[in-house]
Chain A
Amino acid sequence: MARSYLFIPANVPRMLQNADVFEADALIFDLEDAVSSHEKDEARALLARFLDEHRPEGVELYVRVNSDDDLEKDLRTIAPYDVNIVLPKARSAAIGNLTTLFKRLKRRFRVLALIETPKAFFELDVIAEDKMVDGLILGAVDLLNETGGTFSEDGDALLFPRNKLHYAARAADIRSIDTPWPRVKEGLEHDIKRTAALGFDGKCAIHPNQVPSINEAMSPSPDALYKALRIIKKYESEQTTRFSLDGEMVDKPVIEKARKLLDKAKRYGMEVGEDG
């Protein structure tokens, strides 16, 4: 499961052809807000030729499509490629409409629903339970434009939407993905810590330089990994699901959690060892 989701403007060749060197676990090629209305046609052509010749390997690929009249054109353009979509301004009705559209195109995409309107929060469970939807992304800037809140380092205005979105995603067993922090550097570390502490699975990045910090914060810590390793080792040698380690009781859920953590670390190519 991806830790970092990097937005790449789809009409900028320099960004497209380097998108896979920035170490993001997932890329979101953006046909929506990063592309002005009179460049949509150029961006679609560029993205298609790029995916023809230089489709990045070893990274999850998404396209943020437009939610309006351009949606069908966008989906037609990317239909031949092994990519999935991010649906902006997601509402339950809009996701319902996708089913019709997918049928017409004879192509089903998996969907990450970008939640960025207040109304969407009152149908989140419906959105999250939809079988096309793999995850929820919080889009804080648009959301706060409507609610009048401030996107500040303390994150107060986002306390409700962040928790609500994360709980809805957990309840439906899909991914919870936090909003990008709007400034490249200043305040980033603080914001990421908050994301990680709330338990989110991943976080979006609007600049490649945000990715290393996100990956680090959203990865298991070396100490936690080392402990997980010791739990699994002791479990394997004692052949029982109930024992104590460093004076703490270990039981089945703890062993399960340790295993998940180690799997996660392995996927991210992290080293697990005594040095931490």
Chain B
Amino acid sequence: MVEKDLERLLDALPLEDGMRISFHHHLRNGDDVLNPVLKAIMDRGYKHLHLKASALFPVHKQVVKALKSGCVTDITTNYVSGPVADHLSKEGLEGSLTMQTHGGRARSIIEGGSPIDIAFIAAPAVDESYNASGVEGKNPCGSLGYAIEDAQHAAVKVLVTDTLTTIEHVQIEGRHIDHVLKVDSIGDTSGIESGTLAISSDPIKLKIAREAMRLLKALDAIQEGVSFQSGAGGVSLAVTAMFNDYLKTHGLKASFYSGGITAGHVEALEEGLVGRLYDVQCFDKRAIASLKQNEAHIPISASDYANPSNASRVIGDLDIVLLGASEVDLDFNVNVTSDSYLNLIGGSGGHSDTAEDSRLTIVVAPLIKARTPLIQDRVQTITTPGAHVDCVVSERGIAVNPARRDLIRSLEKTSLPIMSIEEMQALAHHYTKRPAAVKKGDVIGIVESRSGGRLDTIHKKVV
């Protein structure tokens, strides 16, 4: 039976102190499922919950209240930004913070290492057999990739929807589902696009994009049938546009683009520049509309995207990935979890999954942000190990991992500003001077590698 009242739904659920509850982040900053559900659970006085959200965004302010009240004591997530991140950086938490990767989360849920007691799954459209679609309904979010494992493996699965209708594009099968809650609204689709989803007009970011593109050309990396992934940051979007132009002018066709999908990827598909889009999450309305229309635009689960135990994962065939960084160190380790001052600002998401699997991993980032140099002796938090990072492209130079002798050899004759990572650091310090060491506070959690090991510890700020 479809429940229309959150309180009555909660009455029917086997809630207990210490339970592990999960949410997905496909509505991104437009999500209005996590906050009200968590508030109702908190109001009932439950304690010591373990929150397993695939990602937490600025909108998720209720989590701060739940942390303060002792309702939530542990968090496992792949990405955290906004007030929750600020609170964790400054105050820590009673239990522990575990930062997973997109592939690692799927793996741990499937293998049972990270069980979920109740999964609350925002579902844009649900039919009478409890099948769910992400592309239909009044607040479509596109792919439901990060919710698939929750829907299959949680002990109790609850769909939360604002649209009961017949469905054409089934992404979650009703046979897995235990309860459906009908609410007025699951959120605001326009919140999906919040953040930077336009090609950057920042001239420094555009310079970095041009340098990344020149590097790809110098390496002769763009061949017929190439596969490519880039995120939704300003630099990535600019490179995607240049990449598409290159395919067009050279009469080439890429085999697939994967990961988070944007309008730039969709245009390439519709112009015949790429064969397929493997979409684990939609970053804008154009991508959502395309997922509904284009057969070669394929929604995939987090496990089919990046689970390291899944031999047929999409990124196992990935040729080139473009990734960001808040810090890089002399061993090429990359931090996108915190900034240089121990403020949590994000997390791996698919960063370390794609870096490990892709044949060529290029990190793009400004060499200096205000006065903070990109290259540190040691990153504050390792998100992605340096062994999986091949090139770092900044506005003032390109460093190639010395382990990639093949790349260094093929760049011997280029006029590109190739330098060692030490030279790149010295160049940054020429402007910024060498920063004093930033003191680390208590350990509040860990970065978990995609295979489940402990990659690094996460420290609180010293306030």
Q: Do chains A and B touch in the complex (CB under 8 A)?
A: yes
CB distance from A246 to the nearest CB of B (A): 25
Residues of A within 8 A of B395 (CB): 18, 21
Residue A189, interface by CB 8 Å: no
Q: Are A212 and B415 in contact (CB under 8 A)?
A: no
Which residue among A18, A23, A184, A208 has the maximum number of chain B CB atoms within 10 Å of its CB?
Answer: A18
Contact pick for A208, options B203, B396, B415, B431, CB 8 Å: B203
Q: Are B203 and A17 in contact (CB under 8 A)?
A: no
Residues of B within 8 A of A234 (CB): none
**Which partner residue on chain A sits nearest B370 by CB separation?**
A14
CB distance from A218 to the nearest CB of B (A): 17
Residues of A within 8 A of B207 (CB): 21-23, 208
Residue A269, interface by CB 8 Å: yes
Within 8 A of B (CB), among A205-232: 207-209, 212
Residues of B within 8 A of A76 (CB): none
Q: Are A209 and B415 in contact (CB under 8 A)?
A: no
Residues of A within 8 A of B396 (CB): 21
Q: Are B431 and A17 in contact (CB under 8 A)?
A: yes
A212 to B242, CA, bound (A): 13
Q: Are B210 and A18 in contact (CB under 8 A)?
A: no
Size bin of chain A's contact surface? 10 to 19
Residues of A within 8 A of B415 (CB): 269
CB distance from B373 to the nearest CB of A (A): 13
Residues of B within 8 A of A17 (CB): 431
Residues of B within 8 A of A21 (CB): 204, 207, 395-396
Residue B201, interface by CB 8 Å: yes
CB distance from B16 to the nearest CB of A (A): 54
**Which partner residue on chain B sits nearest A20 by CB separation?**
B396
Contact pick for A54, options B201, B210, B431, CB 8 Å: B431
- Interface 0/1 of A14-53, CB less than 8 Å to B: 0001100111000000000000000000000000000000
Q: Are A207 and B203 in contact (CB under 8 A)?
A: yes
Residue B206, interface by CB 8 Å: yes
**Which partner residue on chain B sits nearest A270 by CB separation?**
B415
Within 8 A of B (CB), among A172-221: 184, 207-209, 212
Q: Given the known A-B contacts A212-B210, A269-B415, are A22 and B203 also in contact in the complex, defined by CB atoms under 8 Å?
A: yes
A246 to B203, CA, bound (A): 43
A184 to B431, CA, bound (A): 28
A271 to B92, CA, bound (A): 55
A74 to B431, CA, bound (A): 25
Contacts between chains A and B (CB distance < 8 A), count: 23
CB distance from B219 to the nearest CB of A (A): 16
A97 to B439, CA, bound (A): 59
CB distance from B190 to the nearest CB of A (A): 25
A212 to B206, CA, bound (A): 10
Residues of A within 8 A of B431 (CB): 17, 54
A106 to B395, CA, bound (A): 38
A244 to B99, CA, bound (A): 71
Residues of A within 8 A of B206 (CB): 208-209
**Which partner residue on chain A sits nearest B204 by CB separation?**
A18
**Which partner residue on chain B sits nearest A22 by CB separation?**
B203
- Interface 0/1 of B196-212, CB less than 8 Å to A: 00000101101100100
CB distance from B412 to the nearest CB of A (A): 15
A206 to B206, CA, bound (A): 16
CB distance from B372 to the nearest CB of A (A): 14
Within 8 A of A (CB), among B251-296: none
A21 to B207, CA, bound (A): 7
**Which partner residue on chain A sits nearest B394 by CB separation?**
A21
A23 to B203, CA, bound (A): 11
Q: Are B201 and A209 in contact (CB under 8 A)?
A: yes
**Which partner residue on chain B sits nearest A211 by CB separation?**
B203
Residues of A within 8 A of B201 (CB): 184, 209
CB distance from B70 to the nearest CB of A (A): 44
**Which partner residue on chain B sits nearest A17 by CB separation?**
B431
CB distance from B266 to the nearest CB of A (A): 23
CB distance from B453 to the nearest CB of A (A): 39
A269 to B214, CA, bound (A): 13
A84 to B319, CA, bound (A): 48
Residues of A within 8 A of B204 (CB): 18, 21
A256 to B210, CA, bound (A): 34
- Interface 0/1 of A234-275, CB less than 8 Å to B: 000000000000000000000000000000000001000000
- Interface 0/1 of A57-76, CB less than 8 Å to B: 00000000000000000000
Residues of B within 8 A of A184 (CB): 201
Which residue among B203, B206, B207, B431 has the maximum number of chain A CB atoms within 10 Å of its CB?
Answer: B203
Within 8 A of A (CB), among B65-110: none
**Which partner residue on chain A sits nearest B203 by CB separation?**
A208
Within 8 A of A (CB), among B190-232: 201, 203-204, 206-207, 210
CB distance from B198 to the nearest CB of A (A): 13
Residues of B within 8 A of A269 (CB): 415
CB distance from A4 to the nearest CB of B (A): 13
A209 to B201, CA, bound (A): 8
A21 to B209, CA, bound (A): 12
A269 to B395, CA, bound (A): 18
CB distance from B429 to the nearest CB of A (A): 13
Residues of A within 8 A of B203 (CB): 18, 22, 207-209
A207 to B201, CA, bound (A): 11
A208 to B209, CA, bound (A): 14
A184 to B201, CA, bound (A): 10
CB distance from A219 to the nearest CB of B (A): 15
**Which partner residue on chain A sits nearest B211 by CB separation?**
A21
7 contacts between A and B (CB under 8 A): A21-B207, A22-B207, A23-B210, A208-B203, A208-B207, A209-B201, A269-B415
Task: Across the A-B interface, give the 10 residue pairs with the lowest CB-CB distance, nearest first.
Answer: A208-B203, A21-B395, A21-B207, A209-B203, A269-B415, A22-B203, A18-B204, A21-B396, A209-B206, A22-B207
A residues with a Cβ closer than 8 A to B are 17-18, 21-23, 54, 184, 207-209, 212, 269
14 more contacts with CB within 8 A, not counting A23-B207, A184-B201, are: A18-B203, A18-B395, A21-B204, A21-B395, A22-B203, A23-B210, A54-B431, A207-B203, A208-B203, A208-B207, A209-B201, A209-B203, A209-B206, A269-B415
